Homo-oligomer: A and B are copies of this chain.
Amino acid sequence: MDGLAATLLVLDYAAVAVFAVAGALAAARRKHDIITFGFFAAVTGVGGGTLRDLLIGSPVFWVHQPTYLVVCLAAAVAIWLSGWGRARGRLLLWFDAVGLSAYAVVGALKALSLGAPPLSAIVMGVLTATFGGVLRDVLANEPSVLLRRELYVTAALVGAAVFVALVALGLPFIAAGAAGFLTAFVVRGGAILFGWSLPGFPGRAPPDP
């Protein structure tokens, strides 16, 4: 297995596992049963990568490789058994941040590996990194994380852009991936800890139609 495939694999499992935990924590917030825990873990865990694979025309990664589903279900059972109610509520945000950073890189990487141009690869990283959390919020009928003021899409964007730029400069995938992951994680982490945000639209908002 070459560096590309190995990087892809490790990051894919990492993103799936942490998004699955974030999905199970969302189910815990509403005191759902164990089956719904598993459903939210699976949908959140594989949602982003599923969108990525559909968009780039690749076979959906978990359909013929059910290990990914096992990881999701194990995450759901672990959260259930551990009774994470004692955990601080922000834990969900941190798991989401790790998943966001991993998928920003892995989404862009898989797109590049299938021949997509750099801009498309960056957008693919952003879309797939944010789709897991958006899907979880839409299914849980909560305001999407997209609508918060703190940096979210931006973190995925800079992570994917750093990764694609470093690959274009000739760095190995492992190094470029680590740099992209860390950049996204630092930006999102700063948003969680310190409320980092960009200035909002300076014009007057259009009135409601």
Q: What's the Cα separation between A144 and B43 when bound, in Å?
A: 14
> Which residues of chain B are within 8 angstroms of A33 by Cβ–Cβ distance?
149, 154, 197-201
> Which residues of chain B are within 8 angstroms of A27 by Cβ–Cβ distance?
201
Say whether, besides A32-B201, A153-B35, A206-B28, A120 and B90 are in contact (CB < 8 Å): no
Q: Are A119 and B70 closer than 8 Å at their CB atoms? A: yes
Q: Are B198 and A116 closer than 8 Å at their CB atoms? A: no
- Tell me, yes or no, whether A117 is within 8 Å of chain B by CB: yes
> Which residues of chain B are within 8 angstroms of A62 by Cβ–Cβ distance?
120
Interface residues in A40-63 (C-beta closer than 8 Å to B): 42-43, 50, 54-57, 59-60, 62-63
User: What number of A residues sit within 8 Å (CB to CB) of B?
Assistant: 79
- Tell me, yes or no, whether A5 is within 8 Å of chain B by CB: no
Q: Are A204 and B119 closer than 8 Å at their CB atoms? A: no
Q: Are B139 and A85 closer than 8 Å at their CB atoms? A: no
Q: Are B146 and A143 closer than 8 Å at their CB atoms? A: no
Q: Are B144 and A141 closer than 8 Å at their CB atoms? A: yes
Task: Tell me the minimal C-beta distance from A95 to chain B in angstroms.
Answer: 11
Complex A-B, nearest 7 residue pairs according to Cβ-Cβ distance, in ascending order: A85-B204, A83-B203, A33-B198, A85-B203, A89-B207, A31-B200, A66-B119
Q: What's the Cα separation between A120 and B69 when bound, in Å?
A: 8
Would you list 26 pairs from A and B whose C-beta atoms are within 8 A, ordered by A residue?
A28-B205, A29-B206, A31-B205, A33-B149, A33-B199, A33-B200, A35-B151, A35-B154, A37-B201, A39-B130, A39-B153, A42-B123, A55-B60, A57-B59, A63-B111, A64-B115, A66-B123, A69-B119, A85-B205, A85-B206, A86-B203, A89-B206, A89-B207, A91-B206, A134-B139, A141-B143
Q: Are A120 and B28 closer than 8 Å at their CB atoms? A: no
- Tell me, yes or no, whether A138 is within 8 Å of chain B by CB: yes
Q: Report A's interface with B, CB cutoff 8 A.
A: 25, 27-37, 39, 42-43, 50, 54-57, 59-60, 62-64, 66, 69-70, 80, 82-93, 111, 115-117, 119-120, 123-124, 126-127, 130, 134, 138-141, 143-144, 146-147, 149, 151, 153-154, 157, 197-209
